[in-house]
Structure 1
Amino acid sequence: MVDLLHFILPLFPFILFIIFLHNRRSTAAPPPQKTLPPSPRKLPIFGNFHQLGTYPNRSLHSLSKHYGHLMLLHFGRVPVLVVSSADAACEIMKHQDLIFSNRPKLHIPDRLLYGSKDVAFTQYGEHWRQARSICMLQLLSNKRVQSFRRVREEETSVMIDKIKQMGSLSSIINLSEVLVRITNDVICRVALGRKYSDGGEGKMFKELLGEFLELLGSFSIGDYISWLSWIDRVGGLDARLERVAKLFDEFLEGVVVEHRRRRKDETVRGDGAGEDQGFDFVDILLEFQRENEGTSPVEDDTIKAIVLVIIFSHSSLLFFIIAYIYARM
């Protein structure tokens, strides 16, 4: 008993202090509740997933009519703000952009784009600012865009000749196929240095790009309900993701090695191209990497990720253009 008292007595002031803090916290005024946008009733764990339906765009439009232009949904554990008016979108993107500028870390883009080292899916921070600056000043400046005018003109001439040839053989021409081909050819020449549309290599690249785009548009339940992430493994999504990421990495690694070897040979011969002659995006990024070694975030994985997202963004834009044309017909 004496030993027990010797053990308890030194702790007695500490116990009294804990009791005092608990009583003070329980009697204090509750913290003010945040004013949140209106939200439809959600299910435990799954949130509002059940209200998206087969056509999420139509479901969100219908919900916005009832809950307003700013609406809060919960996709699993992730709160999502749905904006359904131009004025609200302008306020968020123009006047409150710093508050809403961050991006969630998603499983599929993170694996396909080297840990989200690109500019579209990387989280807001120093890497995003530097990657964005490189894209805007080195790749997409007005001078750089004009330097690729010859590529666009050449591929447009090839497209016109192709349409004439197809018109002489048939009265029906698949313009979607023609537009996809010219866009891919221009982007591949600008970004990678040559076309990947003919032969076995072109077929492989087209199929791989199609899988890449499909995966980026896929749904990973682990991003929203973490303890259900095993479904992605059982369903084969993770295996497919690993396969496409590995194949694209091997392809892009070959492109980077080929560009380094070509520029090295040109330097040895003394017949290297000028700044805007013969340079594609990989050349430009490799040159920037060499000139800013040690101070630049442009590693080889960053180069691959930026080139990939540029190819992906132009392919997606073409898809929406074609969809819009067909919708207007």
Structure 2
Amino acid sequence: MTTDPVIPEPGRQIQSLDELTAAQAEDVLAVLAAAAESDGTQAVSEQGRLQLRGGYREGVRHFLLTSGGELVGYAQLEDTDPVEAPAAELVVHPSHRGRGHGRALGNALLAASGKRLRVWAHGGRSAARHLAQVLGLTLFRELRQLRRPLEPLDIPEPVYPPGVTVRTFVPGQDDAAWLAVNAAAFAHHPEQGSLTQRDLDDRMNEPWFDPRGFFLAERGADAGGSDGTGGAGGAGGELVGFHWTKVHATERLGEVYVVGVRPDAQGGGLGKALTATGLRYLASEALPTAMLYVDADNTAAVTVYERLGFTTHEIDLMYRTET
């Protein structure tokens, strides 16, 4: 999220769309790339970037801000949570900041949401905090990015609960079971817990997707190796947890993308063991560093990750209108 003072911009126009053409999506991605290079962080999340393509998506609106016919700003509004206010992200091209575009996009989002709005500020930049104040938003959520070196990987061997084994994800075979466990594990977390088959397909179609780094924990399946891990395609076990890793090849950065444990399997060390398995995989890929995202108020998870050697690298902030 970027900010600027209110300066009249006669040629400014904001278009609100239910879906983008392929050309419009490419233009938005170009603005996002320029902002990321300038700011050192993405202004729009992975989910938001995936929603730029593929046509209409229920509850998602796109706002294109042009000046002199050139796309210089973008915002996305997602209204899919049945309880929480619509969530938004926005960006202004670095070469066009300081002209009131950020505030104009913010006001458009407030109007479209009926002044019931949540807005992400990735990286927690001071300009974003100022814009939040100008728009009458207050701090609501803090998301931390944690990192740790993978060389050396000084963590204990993963120890799985009795009867639990681990294998890798098989696209097309494990989709429905994974979606069900993900929904159960993240019922309290609408952004993650509401993922659909389309969302999963979007990710599996990304260049970074590799099922070798997508680990499934099963109860009642045939055991694999001495560490409880096996290959792809289990023997009819019941899925109780998972660790999906991600490799950012350009940055040579491994990510603990998402770790989930079904509620009835929590509390037995399964999450810690899955995390260790994923970290060992990332280290085996010769990646020097691992990262992950965790809510600051999730003290149990923060404690687990800190004990595994993670420290805070960056903070994302979410602001919202008063409720």
Please confirm whether the aligned pair reaches a TM-score higher than 0.5, indicating the same fold. Answer: no
Classify the TM-score, shorter chain. Answer: under 0.3
TM-score, with length taken from structure 1: 0.24
Point out the structure with the larger strand share: 2
**Which is greater in Rg?**
1
Point out the structure with the larger helix share: 1
